[in-house]
Amino acid sequence: SKHFHVGPAGWFGRRIGGAVLRAVDDVSLRIMPGETLGLVGESGCGKSTLGRLLIRLLEASDGHVLFDGADITGLAPKQLRETRRGMQIVFQDPYGALNPRMTVEDIVMEPLVIHGAKPDAAARDKVAAMLERVGLSARAASRFPHEFSGGQRQRIGIARALILRPRFIVCDEAVSALDVSVQAQIVNLLQDLQQEMGLTYLFIAHDLSVVRHISDRVAVMYLGRIVELARKEELYAAPLHPYTQALLAAVPAPHPAGRAARRAARLRVAGDMPSAINPPPGCRFHTRCPHAMAICREVAPPLAETAPGHLAACHLLTKTH
Ligand code: SF4
Ligand code: MG
């Protein structure tokens, strides 16, 4: 079947000193073609790692990643390069991701050249068409990244990500650094492009109102694990996991205006997230959960279907206590 899938035992390990940081642990996730799956959670919970793992910018230490139903986990570099055409990433900080010494034309053309195209007139035409499509003028081609605003730079980043006509895009905090009005423009652009080009998005963000706007389904991540996954209407109206409930309770009324409200809309949960190097045993949320029971300190709750299409990992919901 055609989908993007990581799991069932996929994790990404990174050694820090002698310890292994299991930034993403035992995550199983399926992304359907044409959908936008939102991925939320506090910074450091493993969202970005999961996104990079899916497109194999990082290697999973265990488990599998399927793309269009094919296992891409063990691909040799040459095959992987072919697969990569189909999957791209848009970063939070386009300025950091764009080479300041390259013109916009060269930046957007580079993926074509890496994949074997000649930097000729036909390639330049493709770049010009893509720049126009993302809302930049033809004159942008000969300029350098520093000559553009944050929103325009994000359009350059999007043009670069789309030039190979991929089907799957990881948007990693793609609008988080932008002002609210600019955010809306970029989100609208991403939605238009999705329609036109049949794109599938993994939309990683810590801002729950933006995720609500753009996503079809939303996954909530805590300390390297998915704790809840549901259609967005259901997740926002009736969150089941205590962590999701806490996140949503911290968000003020929709349509926050101004910087203060926007800051307040960011994820906020009492207490600090424990270290991912030495995560709490049992339910990883038990050190902060108002409902923690004895079993929570010992047994990790499985991510189980509580209603059709609604998954949550909490002992309160699975009647195992
Ligand atoms: Fe809280 Fe226990 Fe549920 Fe974890 S399993 S969220 S600690 S009630
Ligand atoms: Mg991140």
212's tokens = 């609500």
Closest CA to 162 of 86, 96, 91: 86
The amino acid at residue 83 is T
Q: What is the pLDDT along the chain (321 residues), one digit of tens a residue?
A: 344 544 433 333 343 343 444 556 666 777 888 899 999 998 888 888 888 888 877 776 666 777 777 777 778 888 888 888 888 999 887 667 789 999 999 999 999 999 999 999 999 999 999 999 999 998 999 999 999 999 999 999 999 999 999 989 999 999 998 999 999 999 999 999 999 999 999 999 988 999 999 999 999 999 988 999 999 999 999 999 999 999 998 776 554 444 444 444 444 466 777 777 778 899 999 999 999 999 999 999 998 999 998 999 999 998 654
User: Please, which residues bridge with residue 222 across strands?
Assistant: 225
Q: What is the pTM of this model?
A: 0.86
- pLDDT at position 42 is 85
Per-residue pLDDT at 255: 47
* Distance from residue 320's CA to the centre of ligand 2 (Å): 33
Task: Report CA(45)–ligand 1 centroid distance (Å).
Answer: 17
Q: Which of 241, 286, 287 to mutate to test the pocket of ligand 1 (most atoms within 8 A of CB)?
A: 286
Fold of 4-86+166-243: Rossmann fold (3.40.50)
ipTM rounded to 2 decimals: 0.96
Task: Say what the pLDDT of residue 48 is.
Answer: 86
Ligand with minimal distance to 291 CA: 1
What are the Cα distances from residue 26, in Å, to 34, 97, 121, 236, 244? Answer: 25, 30, 48, 25, 19
Ligand 1 atom closest to 292 (CA): 7
For the chain, domain boundaries:
4-86+166-243
User: Which residues 6+ apart lie within 8 Å of 302 measured at CB?
Assistant: 313, 318
Rounded to 5 degrees, φ, ψ at 117 are -80, 150
d(CA 228, CA 231): 10
What pLDDT was estimated at residue 202? 93
Query: What pLDDT does residue 270 have?
Result: 64
Neighbours of 240 (CB within 10 A): 20
